[in-house]
Amino acid sequence: MLDLTWLLIAVPLASAFVLLLAGKRSNGWGHWLGVAASGTAFVVGLLAFLQMLGLDSHDRAHSVHLFEWINTGELNLSAGLLVDPLSLTFVLLVTFVGTLIHIYAVGYMEHDPDRRRFFAYLNLFIAAMLVLVLADSYLLLFVGWEGVGLASYLLIGFWNYRNDYATAANKAFVVNRIGDLGLIFALGLMFTAFGGVDFATVFAGAESASTATLTGIGLALLLAACGKSAQFPLQSWLGDAMAGPTPVSALIHAATMVTAGVYLIVRSAAVFEGAPNAQLVVAIVGAVTLLFGAIVGMAKDDIKKALAASTMSQIGYMMLAAGLGPIGYAFAIFHLVTHGFFKAGMFLGAGSVMHGMKDQVDMRRFGALRTAMVVTWVTFGLGWLAILGVPPFAGFFSKDKIIEAAFVGHGWQPWVFGLTALIGAGLTAFYMSRLFFMTFHGEARWEDGQHPHESPAIMTVPMIVLAVGSAFLGLILATGDRFYTWLEPVTGHAEHGDPVLPIPVIMATTLVLVAIGAGFAWLKYGRADVPLTAPAASLGTIAARNDLFQDSVNRAVFERPGTHLTRTLVYADAAVIDGAVNGTGGGVAKTGEAVRGLQTGKSRSYALLMLVGTLVVAFFAMLGGK
């Protein structure tokens, strides 16, 4: 089955082309073809996983040659797949959660006339994401990377007849292209330094490469990761991307696209191990982003944008872990997997709420929905407990491990990273509890004419499955360290150092902060009345509601100077370049006009000119003779 893993990509890709080419003729069955394609990819991935489980740990890396790709003399590269524990982990997450989201979307998009096209884009996204995680070279990874960017653009702007939705898709596309420049630059550095861009060549070359070279490659890869994973300073697109249909938010912004950056960093561990400064920057970016997202999430009243800020913060935890080195790689992927379940479940829960509330997203217009949407309340609640890190739910086993690892080290780093992770846990408990209580508890604040109701089974069943994962997946994977052992052939075996604080103290402090955050949210939003309009805000609240003015900063630092520079260059091009060309042309034309006046057609005039010319030549000849 390992040799047939190309089917993982081929099946959803073929389905996407069929749905796009068949047009309206597939409206009646196109959505089920999309579901079947994603489900087939999961079955193939599961069979490959079971086969790899039967192999010894040192044999758990299988290459699948696809075709000869580039042969230029200096660069010889074949297209191939690398099937190992890391790539298979992503395959199972993407295809399993993706299939559940496909099923959910059958009900969610039931009345959309373009549902068939929506499923084509979903399949295209799945195929591109699988290319990204299965590629055996950075260049093929780049193909998947760009494919994911294209598919996300199409999905975010699916309802592009609305200007704000089209603008959100464009913003996501442009910001991600900025990050993509980092990956392009890294490819150039790799080829220059190592003579190739496949993983084997790069990782072998990294062992003897200079620190400066590896630092340059590492920082370039980090720029790419920041774009895809919405990390500081390229995080501005994520909140606006909630304009897309809710299944898109669950697929792209919970389990797949936003995790691509984490995958890139962990896959490139050999590069970062030789570039400690670049690795430190990864950790700093993660620490800054986890606080950034948490602060923004505390002030959002839009349920999907609050979840988007939460995603940004949780990916920040993963990036922090990846920046800690060997001790954190497996923890980052562990939290990535559990987060894929509980965050996808909560996004689908948000979609269920919107489905029952006529697409309302303002949490101030919700309240008391637990009585009208019991299944959604329970499933969302399990995801809420998981992200808070309440034992024995999934987040307790994944996020708390990152917090413990952040306290390992020497000097200032364990204190700064550890305390940041702790503060983030408290803020997470507050803003996620705020979201949960404003939506499902308190007094009903529904608008006239709204009659909340539970979603149909085709939507609730995927939510139940994800909720079960939110409840038990962490415990299952952590028991006996089986998940870390599974990833060890890729991430290596790391001796866990002792934190600067005792582990029981860290765990107890984390739970206390979580309890304080959740308790404060209950007092303010669960027990007390929630006003229909946001009260007058302080400067800090205004900043959080406006995403800490990230768009204003981008406009002031990049957009306006870029616009002025462009205008200056356009003026210089018109006035100087075009002016010089046009002036030269005009001068030649005028000279021609003057010379043409000498062409009279009279022999006497030509004889006179010849005489004058002869006299001039003779004069200069005599001067030269002297």
Domain annotation covers residue 572: yes
| pLDDT, tens digit (0-9, with 9 covering 90-100), for 331-351 | 999 999 999 999 999 999 999
Domain annotation covers residue 109: no
| pLDDT, tens digit (0-9, with 9 covering 90-100), for 256-308 | 888 899 999 999 999 999 999 999 999 999 999 999 999 999 988 889 999 99
Among residues 492, 521, 552, the one where a domain terminates is: 552
Q: Are residues 504 and 573 in the same domain?
A: no
Adjacent-strand bridge partners of 65: 80
Q: Are residues 509 and 608 in the same domain?
A: no
Q: Are residues 548 and 616 in the same domain?
A: no
Domain annotation covers residue 69: no
CA-wise closest residue to 272 among 230, 325, 348, 233: 325
Domain annotation covers residue 93: no
- Ranking 94-103, 153-162, 327-336 by mean pLDDT, the lowest is 153-162
| pLDDT, tens digit (0-9, with 9 covering 90-100), for 478-521 | 888 889 889 998 888 777 778 899 999 999 999 999 999 999 99
Q: What is the pLDDT of residue 563?
A: 75
Alpha-carbon span 351 to 359, nearest angstrom: 8
Q: Are residues 547 and 572 in the same domain?
A: no
Alpha-carbon span 9 to 13, nearest angstrom: 6
Q: What is the pLDDT of residue 396?
A: 92
Q: What is the pLDDT of residue 442?
A: 86
CB 139 within 8 A of CB 197: yes
- Ranking 17-26, 409-418, 612-621 by mean pLDDT, the lowest is 612-621
Q: Are residues 573 and 547 in the same domain?
A: no
CB 131 within 8 A of CB 9: yes
Is the predicted pLDDT of residue 89 greater than 90, yes or no? yes
Give the pLDDT mean for 38-44. Answer: 95
Q: Are residues 242 and 352 in the same domain?
A: yes
Q: Are residues 485 and 617 in the same domain?
A: no
| pLDDT, tens digit (0-9, with 9 covering 90-100), for 388-409 | 999 999 999 999 999 999 999 8
Q: Are residues 543 and 565 in the same domain?
A: no
Q: Are residues 404 and 481 in the same domain?
A: yes
Is the predicted pLDDT of residue 413 greater than 80, yes or no? yes
| pLDDT, tens digit (0-9, with 9 covering 90-100), for 524-549 | 988 888 887 877 666 777 777 766 77
Cis peptide before 391 (omega within 30 of 0): no
pLDDT band at 199 (very low <50, low <70, confident <90, very high): very high
Alpha-carbon span 479 to 608, nearest angstrom: 110
Indicate the DSSP class of residue 449: T
CB 109 within 8 A of CB 245: yes
| pLDDT, tens digit (0-9, with 9 covering 90-100), for 183-194 | 999 999 999 999
Give the pLDDT mean for 38-61. Answer: 91
Q: What is the pLDDT of residue 211?
A: 94
Q: What percent of the chain has pLDDT over 70?
A: 97
Look at the block and give the residue holding tokens 């999309």.
34
pLDDT band at 597 (very low <50, low <70, confident <90, very high): low
pLDDT band at 625 (very low <50, low <70, confident <90, very high): low
| pLDDT, tens digit (0-9, with 9 covering 90-100), for 425-457 | 999 999 999 999 999 998 888 887 778 889 999
Q: Are residues 215 and 303 in the same domain?
A: yes
- Ranking 17-21, 67-71, 171-175, 595-599 by mean pLDDT, the lowest is 595-599
pLDDT band at 558 (very low <50, low <70, confident <90, very high): low
DSSP helix/strand/coil, 63: strand
Domain annotation covers residue 191: yes
Q: Are residues 486 and 582 in the same domain?
A: no
Domain annotation covers residue 328: yes
CB 101 within 8 A of CB 348: yes
Average pLDDT of the chain is 89
Q: What is the pLDDT of residue 559?
A: 65
Alpha-carbon span 276 to 410, nearest angstrom: 14
- Which range marks the domain in which residue 373 is found? 160-552
Domain annotation covers residue 616: yes
- Chain centre to alpha carbon of residue 80: 24
Among residues 526, 552, 578, the one where a domain terminates is: 552
Domain annotation covers residue 603: yes
Among residues 522, 552, 582, the one where a domain terminates is: 552
Number of domains in the chain: 2
Is the predicted pLDDT of residue 321 greater than 70, yes or no? yes
Q: Are residues 560 and 543 in the same domain?
A: no
Q: What is the pLDDT of residue 123?
A: 95
Q: Where are the alpha helices (DSSP H) in 54-162?
A: 85-108, 115-134, 138-156
